[in-house]
Structure 1
Amino acid sequence: MKRRPVRHRPVPLAPPVARAPVDPERTTLYTPEELYDTPAYVDSLDARAYSWSREQHTRERARVRALHDFGIDEALDAWVAGRHLVGVMGGHAAQRGDQTYRAAARLGHVLGRRHVVATGGGPGAMEAANLGAWLATYPLEAVTTAIDGLAEVPGFAPSIQDWMVAAMTVRAGYAGGRQQPTSLGIPTWFYGHEPPNVFCDAVAKYFRNATREAILLEICDAGIVFLPGAAGTVQEVFQDACENYYATPDRVAPMILLGRAYWTEVLPAWPLLQALAGESVMAGHVHLVDSVDEVAALVRR
């Protein structure tokens, strides 16, 4: 009896990968040079990725973003292994050269001598803290000189291009004297209108802001310093407080609010934070200070 030929069902093809400027299989963190990979910011990887993220939602684009962020997660886990990180949280509004910017840079410089300084990776106080840490092996005078150069373009508005060029010029002038990673940025394309700063050894840039926020707080085992800021910084204060409140005693990291008048009068988060700490495991680990030197004495060694 003649057998009928076996008909195999066609194997469905995997859905095409959406056109994307980022690699969904990425295995390493970014460098500033990768994100700013063209002379004109508008053509750079950073700008292209932000523009692509704003395109109409599709299942394919969502899958690529999720895969990309998973790869950044894995790369960040590997990068922080064996390192102790202290977080510096602050707003984007500080202008290069102003008092807030200079104070954040000095803070980063002091902390960067013993730790990796991690920030949200954006402009303003974040850039200042990353700058100070990035120059930790240089004397403080070098930080002052760098800020004076940057202050010629005080902010990223109206021209990200000019802001980027000024930063890249300063970065190039000090790259040779550095020995080990001291500065990490964790920005997001959710706030893609705010460009990432270039004073980082590595940049863990995510599409999902919620993921980025949680991870930034989680990896700072040496403590977190909260500079005066607005809604985003206040959110980070109490998100970190929640983690510390429910942590085991060995997992509680110092929370340091810098600026007594700001955190008790302008945005009085301190009384609530102090009341929340109460007799919990985080009691004794929340601090309100007025000087950079006080901060340095409170972070974990």
Structure 2
Amino acid sequence: MSDLRPEPLEDDVPVDGTQVRYAGAAQLRVGEDQQYVTSDENLLEWVDPRDSALLLERTVRDSWRVLRIQSEFVAGFDALEKVTEAVTVFGTARSVPGSAEYELGVEVGRRLSEAGFAVITGGGPGAMEAANKGAFLAGGESIGLNIELPFEQHMNPYLTLGMNFRYFFVRKTMFVKYAQAFVCVPGGIGTLDELFEALTLVQTGKVKRFPIVLIGRDFWSPLVDWMRGTLLAGEKISPEDLELITVVDTPQEAVDVVIASGIR
């Protein structure tokens, strides 16, 4: 996919004409007086089965929606089929350019790219943009898998391949299917969701074990301590479950963990 990669930027300012390939759902703008309803919300909306007319209408619509879901999977598989060795980076959308957390993301993306890995993120702002930026400036493959949200979220400009998804579960499949490791920088609910989904897939044997690395001991240690002191102590998890997580302090340590895992 190197033919899709634009020349690395000379500075921190994105340039017009960046070659980004888009597939999947279109992003829509709506006026302030219009209600924005996502595809996930429509899919998961409860319909009272006692309302036979509405239930019939919903059943027909859901049947057709299956085809849209199928097409989104197909678009993702087609777009990402040539991705070889990749690492998915998760983190908050709220980190601000120039902040320590943002620069951490840039360094993660850069070092992963220099180690020969494609970088996959959620494609949005904050830590996602930072990791994509680091990979992009290093001349590596920088992939963004964006999601349709009630509030507007643009793809960041540091992508060599970008996709918009309507459905969270389709997007999550792409995060897992095309990555050989997960790296998490500090983040919020979305990052925790992605972290624990990855842990669940590995712990239940749904996927082969792969590295799950958390960068930032000060940020992540309280979570790991709670898992050890509450979940493990209460026999809700096994000791080996905690071994699925590696906590480090620096981007290079994270890259070293990924390489040492022998995923290549």
TM-score, with length taken from structure 1: 0.61
The answer to whether the 8 A contact 1:108-1:117 is kept is: yes
**Counterpart amino acid of 1:190?**
L
Supply the RMSD in Å over aligned alpha carbons: 3.3
The answer to whether the 8 A contact 2:27-2:164 is kept is: no
Larger radius of gyration: 1
Q: How far off is 1:117 after superposition? A: 0.5
Q: How far off is 1:235 after superposition? A: 1.2
1:53/1:208 CA distance change after superposition, 3 Å: farther
Structure 2 partner of 1:124: 126
2:55 is aligned with 1:54:
no
**Counterpart amino acid of 1:247?**
G
2:164 is aligned with 1:209:
no
Structure 2 partner of 1:242: 200
Unaligned runs of 5+ in 2: 1-18, 43-56
Q: How far off is 1:261 after superposition? A: 1.0
2:218 is aligned with 1:261:
yes
Q: How far off is 1:120 after superposition? A: 0.9
Q: How far off is 1:48 after superposition? A: 4.0
Q: How far off is 1:231 after superposition? A: 1.1
SS in 2 for 1:203: strand
Q: How far off is 1:220 after superposition? A: 1.4
SS in 1 for 2:101: helix
- The CA distance in 2 between the partners of 1:199 and 1:94, in whole Å, is 16
Structure 2 partner of 1:220: 179
Structure 1 partner of 2:98: 97
**Counterpart amino acid of 2:227?**
L
The answer to whether the 8 A contact 2:38-2:148 is kept is: no
SS in 2 for 1:200: coil
Unaligned runs of 5+ in 1: 1-30, 36-44, 138-180
SS in 1 for 2:89: strand
**Counterpart amino acid of 2:146?**
P
Q: Write out per-residue CA displacement over residues 196-239 of structure 1, whole angstroms, 9 at most, x where no aligned residue.
A: 21211112211112322343133312x10111111111111111
TM-score, with length taken from structure 2: 0.68
The answer to whether the 8 A contact 1:109-1:136 is kept is: yes
- The CA distance in 2 between the partners of 1:284 and 1:134, in whole Å, is 32
- The CA distance in 2 between the partners of 1:207 and 1:49, in whole Å, is 16
SS in 2 for 1:239: helix
Map 1:276-287 to 2 at 5 A. 276=237, 278-279=239-240, 284-287=243-246
- The CA distance in 2 between the partners of 1:75 and 1:247, in whole Å, is 27
Percent of pairs with identical residues = 24
Q: How far off is 1:77 after superposition? A: 2.1
> How many corresponding residue pairs?
213
**Counterpart amino acid of 2:158?**
F
Structure 2 partner of 1:110: 111
